[in-house]
Amino acid sequence: MSVTSRRLRSIATATLTVGLALGMTTACSAKKDAEPNANGTGPVTISLSYFGTPGFNQAVKDFEAANPNIKVDVKNEGQTKDFAPKLAQWISAGSGASDVVMLEEGMLLQYLKDNKGFANLLDLGASSVEKDYLSFKWKNAFTADGKKLVGLGTDVGPLAMCYRTDLFQKAGLPVDRDAVSKLWPTWEEYVKQGEVFKSKNTGAAWTDSATSVMQPYIMQNADSWFYDKSDKYIGDTNPAVKKAYDLGLDMAGKGLTAKLARWSADWDAAFKNAAFATVPCPPWYTGVIKERAGDAGKNKWDIATIPGKGGNWGGSYLAIPEQSKNKKAAFELIKFITGKQGGLDAFAEAGPLPSSIAALDDPKITDAKNEYFNNAPVGKIYAGAAKELKPIYLGPKHQALWENAFEPAMQAAEQGKLSAQAGWDKAIKDSKALAEG
């Protein structure tokens, strides 16, 4: 034991002691949240739980300014995958949830079926604002019997197709976004262009994975996916599902996909390494690309229209748990955040495309350009696409059926671990078992 290490030790001990003392003081002086004041005699405090970066901060400030009687306690709950089980616990225990909670599409679907834990927004006067929202978004938040509205939509995900101009140039394809849009009026044309692209040996694939083609295809071409409206499993008989599966695996078989698993480290890196040329992209996805492709990818990406008709991918809702003691104030907050002002605030702060029609018509959105994507007029592209979206019925366990049963089996087939037929059989067997379990 040398002198220095002894000194180091005493410094460490001293630091710890001070830190602890500080901590104890804070711990003892920390108060629990004040009880909500439900009588309306003074200012009411309501809480709002969100995950990810939906860009609510400015909207909440504006809301508080407009409603001096309501204070909002904003809670960032971290990551979606952690928040979903936590919320399920709150709902199940009947305690713990905030007055307003954000629901991702998959979570909303679950709670449309198990809707006891949530307030009916129609009872709070939501019908008066129906016309403010894109109609598909409004309809998607109703329970199967159409009597209960669980949430109001924050943002929507109309699809476009992002592509790399540098790879297109190399392959001798046009690079101008209007010309590119004309290359693929249908998915069949899209596959054909992929084969042309492949024959030019750029070293890159046409798109990232078979599964990322399947999703938009179904979203465009069917009004249901795994479930019919009575929540019966129809994944095995729905022709759109089989068609989309075959389309995806056909592309994989022709060597047009990079066979990457989405949201993996390889997939992240593939953006930077220009490993594929096109990818279906809703508005929030532009952030995904920018984040991963980094500075090196600037101005190398552009945005064209998606093959086929319009389709939606992703987007969230705000809902009020039944356990909330301040539903009125909570509803005011939801109306504000999902309304015109809130939508514009969020768009400016974090970029999600609002589901409020008035916001979509605002020049702040229609004139918006995305510098990273060659100054593509994203506002015009996406706001235009958003208005053409039609509702699609997804059903209670859609997210789990897709992500935990169908997609893995399809990936196994794409990676060659299973034949296309075996992959299909497994995808159907697993998703059916899950739907019925």
Query: Which residue from 95, 53, 43 is spatially nearest to 73, judged by alpha carbons?
Result: 43
Q: Are strands 205-207 and 276-281 parallel, antiparallel or unpaired?
A: parallel
**Touching other proteins, residues 131-150 (CB under 8 A):** none
Antiparallel, parallel or unpaired: β 100-104 and 160-164: unpaired
117: number of Cβ within 10 Å? 18
53: contact with other proteins by CB under 8 A: yes
Neighbours of 420 (CB within 10 A): 18
Residue nearer to other proteins on the CB measure, 96 or 377: 96
Residue 44 DSSP SS3 = strand
Ramachandran angles phi, psi of 316, nearest 5°: -120, 175
Q: Token pair for residue 232?
A: 């019966």
Scanning residues 56 to 85, which ones bind other proteins (CB under 8 A)?
Answer: 73, 75-79, 81-82, 84-85
What residue ranges in 178-246 does DSSP mark as E strands?
205-207
| Residue 260 Cα distances to 33, 246, 265, 323, 351, angstroms | 46, 18, 10, 42, 26
- Written as six digits, the tokens of 44 are 């009411």
Q: How far is the CB of 77 from other proteins (least distance, A)?
A: 7
The residues near 183 (Cβ < 8 Å, ≥ 6 apart) are 173, 174, 189, 190, 193, 304
Q: Which two tokens stand for residue 205?
A: 């694939």
| 371 contact partners, CB below 8 Å, separation of at least 6 | none
Instruction: Between 40 and 255, name the residue whose CB sits nearer to other proteins.
Output: 255
Q: What minimum distance in Å lies between the beta carbon of 20 and other proteins?
A: 6
In this structure, how many other beta carbons lie within 10 angstroms of the beta carbon of residue 41? 7
**Which of 264, 375, 419, 421 is the binder for other proteins (CB under 8 A)?**
264
Nearest approach, Cβ of residue 110 and other proteins (Å): 6
Nearest distance from residue 52's CB to other proteins, in Å?
A: 4
**Residue 405: CB minimum distance to other proteins, A:** 8
Number of amino acids touching other proteins (CB under 8 A)? 83
Shorter beta-carbon distance to other proteins: residue 112 or 183: 112
Cβ proximity to other proteins, 118 vs 184, nearer residue: 118
d(CA 145, CA 125): 19
Residues from 373 through 432 that contact other proteins (CB under 8 A): 397, 400, 404, 408-409, 411-412, 415, 417-418
Judged by CB under 8 A, which of 269, 299, 325, 369 binds other proteins?
Answer: 269
* 394/235 Cα distance (integer angstroms): 11
Candidates 37-45, 61-69, 126-134, 283-291: pick the segment binding other proteins (CB under 8 A).
283-291
Find the shortest distance in angstroms from Cβ 230 to other proteins. 17
Q: Which stretch binds other proteins (CB under 8 A): 200-208, 248-256, 263-271, 375-383?
A: 263-271
Q: From residue 84 to residue 113, what is the string marking binding to other proteins with x (rule CB under 8 A)?
A: xxx-xx-xxxxxx-------------xx-x
Member of 237, 273, 299, 419 binding other proteins (CB under 8 A)? 273
Report which DSSP code applies to 257.
Answer: B
Q: Are strands 353-354 and 316-319 parallel, antiparallel or unpaired?
A: unpaired
Q: C-beta of 421: minimal distance to other proteins in Å?
A: 15
Amino acid at 105: E
Of residues 244, 179, 248, the one with CA closest to residue 208: 248
Q: How far is the CB of 172 from other proteins (least distance, A)?
A: 26
Judged by CB under 8 A, the residue of 223, 266, 361, 388 near other proteins is 266
Q: Given the rule CB under 8 A, which of 165-173, 231-239, 286-294, 368-376 is the region that contacts other proteins?
A: 286-294
**Range 142-201, binding other proteins (CB under 8 A):** none
Q: For the segment 348-377, give every residue that binds other proteins (CB under 8 A).
A: 350-352
Taking CB under 8 A as the rule, which mask of x and - marks residues 289-318 in contact with other proteins? --xx-xxx----------------------
In the complex, least distance from residue 59 CB atom to other proteins, rounded to whole angstroms = 15
The smaller minimum CB distance to other proteins, of residues 58 and 415, is found at: 415
Closest CB 79 distance from other proteins, rounded Å: 5
Q: What's the closest the beta carbon of residue 178 comes to other proteins, in angstroms? A: 28
Q: How far is residue 173's CA from residue 149's CA, in Å, rounded to a whole number? A: 47
Q: Which strands make up the sheet holding 205-207, listed edge to edge?
A: 205-207, 276-281, 160-164, 301-304
Q: What are phi and psi of 408, to 5 degrees?
A: -60, -45
Taken in order 255, 256, 260, 262, the sign of the CA dihedral is negative
Site for other proteins in 4-33 (CB under 8 A): 5, 8-9, 12-13, 15-16, 19-20, 22-24, 26-27, 30, 32-33
